[in-house]
Structure 1
């Protein structure tokens, strides 16, 4: 396994930057300890099985942890199939490359407290069940969706698939309470199965559902979350032009799900 400390210096024939032929994980570290490490390892292992990339050893994956100091940091692991093959044809015996990057991190704590404004995106995610749930390197859909707005007041954009079903935000998963029931979009055809989402599904009675954007007009609470930032309550939802569709007031229900998510990550709860 070819490993290096930073994700640079890729050979021009590496299949990761050339084709998006690889996977990545973004892990929150607290005083050098990875949060949701088991969930990150499980998702990476599943991605390796699907793509046919040899999984690095645990020692290789944990090597960057020894370089992390005190406080909060984010570890980005990037695994590619390596070089070789002809065109799109992968090599019969791949020699993967593992790169990593460690950066200090400060969460957007004001968004925990005050909530966020989000909008619908025009872009639609393509359906590909074979890759559904994986955090693979081909993220152009997310890049194009994130380019749809630049105002600092909008925290995230919500994405539907090509058939009009809600999937996720550009870099976070969705959760809502509908008729008293916690729900999250089903991710069996596209989207990224976040590790915080996986941990919450294992801990709470959250139902995976097929839902269209109109559903959000009648939900009692809406959240966005991932394994780095934690859980943000949504207080305003806009359409793709930035026009308000719905407002929410933060309630104890919002704080209850935040408490579960932040317990998993070690983040404090809003006052």
Structure 2
């Protein structure tokens, strides 16, 4: 199932700048019962990204398109892409800019229930995230760092990989955000230099704060990670996965992790 600019389509122009340069943004949206989950957060991030990249995008029109698309998809994953549209060869932006909205539907990923129930093992990725504050936090179309990192392991014992920046600070998973718990406080890495500000990360910070949990966005060193009481990763498709092991370090699934799993488990019934 594929739509381009709100209409069913089976192809895309080879001159699209998203294809040529990764000049655009995307959102990966869970669809349940014909409804896109966390849609406001997805569109807020998309709107921020469009402003920062200078892509003129009518978010109200995109909202209508993704709502209609999701109703037709019913269940699965809607990948929403906004590119700068078509352009001639070269990096210079087209004038005028005519953005393109692409929506792709796919089945929901079939993750083992044990990932959420018992926890996952993280692979220590050697690929590092480059620091670029102008793009930090955005879910832009340039994902080669993640492609290289995910290619580092084939062993199914690892459900996710841990990525660091060029100085060794812990940043995120290959396709997730990361949290640690220390002395009852919830901490997540700062994304001012690199990384993706996930919508589930924002939702968890919000719900944890509402529940009276102290939260902090800060730099996290490897030493700080290994000294955590609990660790978990999250994204908008699977929610929360506890981390049970990273290299030789092992953790139990902790009470705050379980609490946060419960807090976001009702998204489908309580948007």
Q: d(CA) in 2 for partners of 1:7 and 1:105?
A: 21
CA deviations over 1:36-94 (Å, ceiling 9, x no partner)? 11100100000000111111342343324334358631110011001125501111321
Structure 1 residues 60 and 42, CA gap change in structure 2 (3 angstroms): closer
Counterpart-to-counterpart distance in 1, 2:201 and 2:9:
26
Contact 2:35–2:74, Cα closer than 8 Å, also in 1: no
Aligned to 1:235: 244
Aligned to 2:33: 31
Q: Which residue of 2 aligns with 1:241?
A: none
Aligned to 1:242: none
SS at 1:207 equivalent: strand
Change (3 A) 1:17 1:106: closer
TM-fit CA distance, 1:222? 0.3
The two structures, once aligned, show a CA RMSD in angstroms of: 2.0
Is 1:176 the equivalent of 2:180? yes
Q: CA deviation at 1:178?
A: 1.5
Q: How many residues align?
A: 260
Question: Offset at 1:265?
Answer: 5.3
User: For residue 50 of structure 1, what is the aligned residue in structure 2?
Assistant: 52
What is the deviation of 1:260? 2.0
Q: Distance in 1 between matches of 2:238 and 2:229?
A: 22
Normalised TM-score (structure 1):
0.89
What TM-score, normalized by structure 2, do the two folds share?
A: 0.89
For the residues of structure 2 that align with 1:115 and 1:56, how far apart are their CA atoms? 40
Match of 2:80 among 53, 64, 77: 77
Aligned to 1:102: 105
Contact 2:123–2:153 (CA under 8 A) maintained in structure 1: no
Asked if 1:121 corresponds to 2:125, the answer is yes
**1:72–1:106 contact (8 Å) kept in structure 2:** no
Q: Shift in Å at residue 6 of structure 1?
A: 6.8
Report the counterpart of residue 212 of structure 1 in structure 2: 221
8 A Cα contact 1:28 1:228, kept in partner: yes
Q: Compared with structure 1, are the counterparts of its residues 7 and 40 closer, same or farther at alpha carbon in structure 2 (3 Å cutoff)?
A: farther
Counterpart-to-counterpart distance in 1, 2:219 and 2:13:
42
- Which structure 2 residue ranges, 5 or more long, are not aligned? none
Gap runs ≥5 in structure 1:
239-244
Question: Aligned to 1:92, what secondary structure does the other structure show?
Answer: coil
Measure, in 2, the Cα distance between the counterparts of 1:160 and 1:186. Answer: 12
> Quick one: which of 245, 250, 254 aligns to 1:247?
250
